[in-house]
Chain A
Amino acid sequence: MTSSTIKSHISIKDLNMHYGKNHALKNISINIPDKKLTAIIGPSGCGKTTLLKTFNRLIENVDGTNITGEVLVDGENIYGKNADVTNIRKKMGLLNQRPTPLPMSIYDNIAFGMSIHGIKQKGVLNEKVEHFLRVASLWDEVKDRLHSPAARLSIGQQQRLCLARGLAVEPEIILGDEPTSALDPISTKHIEQKFVELKEQYTIVMVTHILRQARRIADYVIFMYLGEIIEHGPTEMVLGNPQHQLTKDYVGGAIS
């Protein structure tokens, strides 16, 4: 209802996805609102991660997947014949469940993405590395050890580093697959705050299994069940006044 009036960045039409014989996504059609934080919720195994990975075509790296339908990003079907997959992926930063620092220094983690996209001048790189580390509120903690391996950071710091690294390739969209589930409460708060700040400029889609987190920070919620979108809409509607029985059960804690 409301979705047609909101400008959408990612727009999905009749998306179906199979892992071999397993029909993991069923007739997904949805518009993800621009410059908003959208949370995907639903019980384990319902296809949240799978849906997220169809947005940047990471899903096709899995053996035996079959996808039909359209995912439009900025109006372009990313599964179209002429789609440039590296360019599509560059548009979206990804945060995984566990932080994934690259096997290199803190500095190089941020500089890596920029350098593969052609930024090589030391001065520019230095400036941008500092900028994005500041955006992720990590600069003060790491400024004295930029050249030590990123793997030595704490898990929470690593996740902020991954956020900074994703932002450094200047995406328009941020995807998070339960980005706080491996973090302690303080680090979780850090990431949540960042997300709230960043949604002014970015479209954020985040999978979460913590309903309170969705309540705290999401503008928009998608509830999935067994590969289908059951209900979606503004957070206060889906979580506060769910229409569908399955959503009511999930929000009420009857299914988890």
Chain B
Amino acid sequence: MPKEINDDDIQNITENIDELEITAVSTQQSTPLVKTGSNPLRVILDGFMGKVVKAMTIFSLLLLVLIIIGLVLKSIPVLKDNPLSTLLFSSQWSPFKGEFGFLPFILSTVYVTLIAAVIAIPLSLFTAIYLSEYANKRFLKYAAPMLDILGGIPSVIYGIWGVLLIVPFVRDDFSAWLGVDSVSGYSILSGGVVLAVMVFPVVVQIVYEVLKTVPHELREATLSLGATKWETIKKVVIKRASPGIIAACILGFSRAFGETIAVLMVVGNVVQIPKGIFDEGYPIPALIANNYGEMMSIPMYDSALMFAALILLVIVLVFNVYARWVLNRIEKSIK
């Protein structure tokens, strides 16, 4: 009989200890166990570091503002000479005559990036899902470094690969399948494909990491309701990961808008509004890279190219702001 009482006492104590531990943890957060005030140097350093990180952050944010101010100042001459609507919506491009219609460049940029997105987003998503949800450890061991390498290849190599492989493929095979004649292969499609291949490893890696942060228990909970594996992935895992997935795409495609050399090598660089995927295009980064050497020799040309850079920056900013807005809305629906 006395033993029985003993048991309960012990149990009581262990339960109380459990509770005590919980309170101990929660008080730790509000009142530090060690008083920082006892060592003045640490307090000074603490305050100092707080200011340092703040200053660094403000400095890097200021950089963006400075870049924008610089580009705007440099664009003023061309903006004074031409109405904004002409600059943005005209496709007359003859720098010698002082005609600067940027529409072909703007549309080429957008089209090439769109084609890349259409190819790269599903590909990256499915790859990341495979790696995170289906692949076994052995496969991952080989796949992960390969993706690392793919992401680290310099863009000029992607460009050469595009010229040697993608351009002939688009010219000879792909156009034949679609029944299109006499194309050069240098096209917004080739640009989009090369861009997609470049963005793919980055997006896969981030999406993979994001999927890995979805707790295992959430998958188990969904499966235990009788959901199939695919239902679990589609309706719960992706949903939970969607803010991160969108952030990954934003990151990938902010880079894609500005990717220069690889696209420039395969896109044809013809000033025209592309009417189809086999048409040549001339994205803004290619325009700047191809012409910055002679921009001083033609009046207004330097200002026009600066304005081109400003347009590119605005495109990226608008895209980012819009995507963040979408991201916020999704986040609010799940958190």
Query: Which single member of A86, A93, A175, A253 contacts B227 (CB below 8 Å)?
Result: A86
Query: For chain B residues 136-179, which have a beta carbon within 8 Å of chain A?
Result: 136-137
**Distance in angstroms between the alpha carbons of A117 and B228 in the assembled complex:** 11
| Chain B residue at smallest Cβ distance from A90 | B226
Report chain B residues within 8 Å CB of A166.
Answer: 224-225
Please encode chain A, from 152 to 163, with 1 for each CB lying within 8 Å of some chain B CB and 0 for all others. 100000000010
Report chain B residues within 8 Å CB of A162.
Answer: 221
Q: Is A79 an interface residue (CB 8 A)?
A: no
> How far does the Cβ of B22 sit from chain A's closest Cβ, in whole Å?
9
Contacts A89-B225, A103-B236, A253-B10 given; indicate if A61 touches B15 (C-beta within 8 A).
no
**Distance in angstroms between the alpha carbons of A112 and B234 in the assembled complex:** 13
**Distance in angstroms between the alpha carbons of A47 and B239 in the assembled complex:** 32
**Among listed A22-30, A66-74, A94-102, interface-contacting one:** A94-102
Q: Is A102 a contact partner of B218 (Cβ separation < 8 A)?
A: yes
Q: Is B217 an interface residue (CB 8 A)?
A: yes
* Most chain A CB within a 10 A radius of its CB, from B4, B223, B226, B227: B226
Q: Is A210 an interface residue (CB 8 A)?
A: yes
Q: Is B226 a contact partner of A117 (Cβ separation < 8 A)?
A: yes
Query: For chain A residues 77-110, which have a beta carbon within 8 Å of chain B?
Result: 86-87, 89-90, 92-94, 96-98, 100, 102-105
Q: Is B221 a contact partner of A90 (Cβ separation < 8 A)?
A: no
**Distance in angstroms between the alpha carbons of A113 and B215 in the assembled complex:** 19
* Most chain A CB within a 10 A radius of its CB, from B11, B15, B236, B333: B11
**Distance in angstroms between the alpha carbons of A162 and B145 in the assembled complex:** 39
| Chain A residue at smallest Cβ distance from B335 | A151
> How far does the Cβ of A191 sit from chain B's closest Cβ, in whole Å?
16
Q: Is B181 an interface residue (CB 8 A)?
A: no
Report chain A residues within 8 Å CB of B136.
Answer: 63
Report chain A residues within 8 Å CB of B224.
Answer: 56, 58, 89, 92-94, 166, 175
Q: Is B86 an interface residue (CB 8 A)?
A: no
**Distance in angstroms between the alpha carbons of A151 and B3 in the assembled complex:** 45
Report chain A residues within 8 Å CB of B240.
Answer: 103
Q: Is A169 a contact partner of B225 (Cβ separation < 8 A)?
A: yes
> How far does the Cβ of B209 sit from chain A's closest Cβ, in whole Å?
18
Contacts A100-B217, A149-B333, A151-B335 given; indicate if A116 touches B225 (C-beta within 8 A).
yes
> How far does the Cβ of B29 sit from chain A's closest Cβ, in whole Å?
17
Q: Is A45 an interface residue (CB 8 A)?
A: no
Q: Is A212 a contact partner of B11 (Cβ separation < 8 A)?
A: yes
Contacts A96-B221, A149-B333 given; indicate if A253 touches B11 (C-beta within 8 A).
yes
**Distance in angstroms between the alpha carbons of A251 and B240 in the assembled complex:** 42
Q: Is B215 a contact partner of A165 (Cβ separation < 8 A)?
A: no
User: What count of chain A residues pass the 8 Å CB interface test?
Assistant: 40
Report the interface size class on chain B. Answer: 20 to 34
Query: For chain B residues 199-246, which have a beta carbon within 8 Å of chain A?
Result: 215, 217-228, 231, 235-236, 239-240
Please encode chain A, from 110 to 123, with 1 for each CB lying within 8 Å of some chain B CB and 0 for all others. 00110011000000
Query: Which single member of A90, A104, A113, A211 contacts B11 (CB below 8 Å)?
Result: A211
Q: Is B222 a contact partner of A87 (Cβ separation < 8 A)?
A: no
**Distance in angstroms between the alpha carbons of A152 and B332 in the assembled complex:** 10
Q: Is B226 a contact partner of A100 (Cβ separation < 8 A)?
A: no
**Distance in angstroms between the alpha carbons of A253 and B12 in the assembled complex:** 11
Report chain A residues within 8 Å CB of B4.
Answer: 240
Q: Is B15 a contact partner of A113 (Cβ separation < 8 A)?
A: no
**Distance in angstroms between the alpha carbons of A16 and B226 in the assembled complex:** 25
Contacts A63-B136, A86-B227 given; indicate if A102 touches B222 (C-beta within 8 A).
yes
Q: Is B7 an interface residue (CB 8 A)?
A: yes
> How far does the Cβ of A227 sit from chain B's closest Cβ, in whole Å?
21
Q: Is A210 a contact partner of B221 (Cβ separation < 8 A)?
A: no
Q: Is A63 a contact partner of B226 (Cβ separation < 8 A)?
A: no
Q: Is A94 a contact partner of B221 (Cβ separation < 8 A)?
A: yes
Q: Is B90 an interface residue (CB 8 A)?
A: no
Report chain A residues within 8 Å CB of B218.
Answer: 100, 102-103
Query: Which single member of B8, B215, B226, B335 contacts A152 (CB below 8 Å)?
Result: B335
Report chain A residues within 8 Å CB of B333.
Answer: 104-105, 149
Report chain B residues within 8 Å CB of A5.
Answer: none
| Chain B residue at smallest Cβ distance from A251 | B7
Q: Is B6 an interface residue (CB 8 A)?
A: yes
> How far does the Cβ of A216 sit from chain B's closest Cβ, in whole Å?
11
Q: Is B334 a contact partner of A89 (Cβ separation < 8 A)?
A: no
> How far does the Cβ of B31 sit from chain A's closest Cβ, in whole Å?
21
Q: Is B14 an interface residue (CB 8 A)?
A: yes
> How far does the Cβ of A229 sit from chain B's closest Cβ, in whole Å?
21
> How far does the Cβ of A44 sit from chain B's closest Cβ, in whole Å?
13
| Chain B residue at smallest Cβ distance from A57 | B223
**Distance in angstroms between the alpha carbons of A152 and B334 in the assembled complex:** 9
List residues of chain A with CB under 8 Å of any chain B CB.
Answer: 53, 56, 58, 61, 63, 86-87, 89-90, 92-94, 96-98, 100, 102-105, 112-113, 116-117, 149, 151-152, 162, 165-166, 169, 175, 210-212, 240, 251-253, 256
Further pairs besides A100-B215, A152-B335: 8, Cβ < 8 Å: A89-B225, A94-B220, A96-B217, A102-B236, A104-B333, A113-B226, A212-B8, A240-B4
- CB-based closest 3 A-B pairs: A90-B226, A94-B224, A253-B10
Interchain Cβ contacts under 8 Å between A and B, 20 examples: A89-B223, A89-B224, A94-B221, A97-B217, A98-B217, A100-B218, A102-B222, A102-B236, A103-B236, A113-B225, A116-B235, A165-B225, A166-B224, A169-B225, A210-B11, A211-B11, A251-B7, A252-B6, A252-B7, A253-B10
